[in-house]
Amino acid sequence: MSLRRFPNAVNISSEILGQQLKFRNGRVSQNRFLKAALTEILSTYAPQEPKKHGLPTDTILNIYDKWGNGKFGMILTSNVLVDPTNLEAAGNAIVFKEGDSHERRALFSHWAKIMKQDGALAVMQLSHAGRQTPELVNPTPWSASDIQLVSAARFTTYGKPKPLTTEQVKKEVVDRFVYAAKYAYECGFDGIQLHGAHGYLLSQFTSPTTNKRTDKYGGSLENRQRVIIEIFDAIRAEIPASTGFLIGIKANSVEFQAEGTTLEQAKEMCRVYESKEFDFVELSGGTYEKLAFCYERESTRKREAFFLEFAEQIRPVFNKTVVYLTGGFRTVFAMVDAINNNATQGIGLGRPITAEPDLPKKILEGSVNSAVQDSFNQNDMAATAMASGSQMEQMGRNSLNDAGRNIMDQISDFSNDETVQRFDQALADHLVQAGIDIADGKRPKPIVVFN
Ligand SMILES: Cc1cc2nc3c(=O)[nH]c(=O)nc-3n(C[C@H](O)[C@H](O)[C@H](O)COP(=O)(O)O)c2cc1C
């Protein structure tokens, strides 16, 4: 199979990408690559049966068997949800007290183990969807305030959220995150990452667009960030830094919307993460209302990373907290350039590694110097995310042992124009069927099962 790749502007050594990253608590990542969180929506969905709800499936384990052999420094899970009723999608993995069982613990422990096969750190991303919970999952999810999500970029509607009372913030948010972090620790994960970006609950608190509260969780930036700091402190009280357990956060560098978090506010929040001794921060941007995974300017397109200019300005606040930047990286040149320009220390990869789960390994060996160049419009997040979802399902069809150790087995080559045309048709059919299912009151299938 001959894959078309993004042209690498200048041929440059990838050596720097293979350097270790050291965390303040002494843990070490074997190189600078981060597998970003990518929701698979392939866990079980059984809201009426807590013990069967949100269990990782064999498909998920097979997917991570591939990434666990891809030579990442750190591998994040997809968003694992902490509240069984506030999901990003029906089919998320969930960790919650009422759902605890030997089966769940065994599955999560196995998940951690296969992520670490070739030396990567296994980190669970913890999230609470809040007002970004689809209406079909829950018409009245929690949020900081009762601001409904209207102009969704996805084929989904969202109900009007209920604002959490001050007491509920502790019970429904802080306690749930702490429970899930302890669970991750007990199951052998090396750390957790709080999902504080992309408009999910924690960023509903930090963003002035969605936080209109007048109690200690609203108003000033300090108040809006309070819930995150309370979660951090409560986790550290249970799992001290001396255990080596990492705590990081995915944070927005900017939200391009009215009243959205500004660069200055993001910088201020990052200053707090540094002083609170977060182990790492992954910089991203945007929300469902204003997706930002695209090139807003020509200067960004050349340098690939969507949030590079923001990262460069935030970077100086970090000293001991390790910084990752995710979004848009496609060539070795751009990755090395971002590190040399001190915009970031680590490189997060999302869509390129569903096309090629061992991209870091190939880059470090020097056998490739860029990602597969698919034929989708690169600014079309909906289509490229659906395509990535399909590739993950394909990755999950067998383990490396079944696949005779061919890591690319079954993965569609979207650098082939004809395959992309067929996918576009499959996606169009999928959306028509989703419309019919929704009209019939049924849950639509979350991903396009392709080929
Ligand atoms: C299919 C898909 C699922 C995603 N799921 C998550 C998620 O669960 N948590 C998260 O923080 N970001 C999620 N993202 C965002 C990615 O982590 C990443 O920030 C984004 O794709 C930009 O990186 P890229 O240009 O390398 O793809 C998702 C993106 C895609 C395409």
Question: How buried is residue 223: exposed, middle or buried, by Cβ count under 10 Å (0-12/13-18/19+)?
Answer: middle
pLDDT tens track for 170-222 = 999 999 999 999 999 999 999 999 999 999 999 999 999 999 999 999 999 99
User: Which ligand 1 atom is nearest residue 198's CA?
Assistant: 11
Residue 421 predicted with pLDDT over 90: yes
* CATH, residue 409: 3.20.20.70
Q: What percent of the chain has pLDDT over 90?
A: 84
> What's the mean pLDDT when you consider all of the chain?
94
With b meaning 16 or more CB within 10 Å and e meaning fewer, what string describes 186-204?
ebebbbbbbbbbbbbbbbb
Assigned domain for 222 exists: yes
Confidence grade of residue 443 (pLDDT, cut at 50, 70, 90): confident
Our count of domains for the chain comes to 1
Residues 6+ apart with CB under 8 A from 402: none
Residue-number span of the structural domain to which 54 is assigned:
15-439
- How high is the pLDDT of residue 290? 73
Assigned domain for 163 exists: yes
Residue nearest to atom 10 of ligand 1 (CA): 37
- How high is the pLDDT of residue 155? 66
Assigned domain for 451 exists: no
Q: Give CA–CA dist 274/322, Å, rounded.
A: 9
User: Which ligand 1 atom is nearest residue 293's CA?
Assistant: 22
Assigned domain for 449 exists: no
DSSP reduced 3-state for 310? helix
- How high is the pLDDT of residue 151? 62
Question: How buried is residue 249: exposed, middle or buried, by Cβ count under 10 Å (0-12/13-18/19+)?
Answer: buried
Q: Is 412 in the pocket of ligand 1 (CB under 6 A)?
A: no
- How high is the pLDDT of residue 261? 86
pLDDT tens track for 94-144 = 999 999 999 999 999 999 999 999 999 999 999 999 999 999 999 999 999
- How high is the pLDDT of residue 172? 98
Confidence grade of residue 435 (pLDDT, cut at 50, 70, 90): confident
Q: Is 78 in the pocket of ligand 1 (CB under 6 A)?
A: yes
Please give the distance, rounded to the nearest whole angstrom, from the Cα atom of residue 197 to the centre of ligand 1: 11
Q: Give CA–CA dist 53/265, Å, rounded.
A: 37
DSSP reduced 3-state for 363? helix
Q: Give CA–CA dist 109/122, Å, rounded.
A: 11
Average pLDDT over residues 18-32: 97
Residue 1 predicted with pLDDT over 80: no
Assigned domain for 261 exists: yes
Q: Is 326 in the pocket of ligand 1 (CB under 6 A)?
A: yes
Assigned domain for 219 exists: yes
Does an H or E element contain 23, and which?
none
Residue 166 predicted with pLDDT over 90: yes
**DSSP letters for 62-99:** HHHHHHTTS--SEEEEEEEESSTTS-SSTT--B--GGG
Q: Is 248 in the pocket of ligand 1 (CB under 6 A)?
A: no
- How high is the pLDDT of residue 23? 98
Residue 154 predicted with pLDDT over 60: no
Assigned domain for 20 exists: yes
pLDDT tens track for 293-316 = 776 667 777 788 999 999 999 999
For residue 338, the one-letter residue type is A
pLDDT tens track for 379-412 = 888 899 999 999 999 999 999 999 898 999 999 9
Assigned domain for 447 exists: no
User: Which ligand 1 atom is nearest residue 329's CA?
Assistant: 26
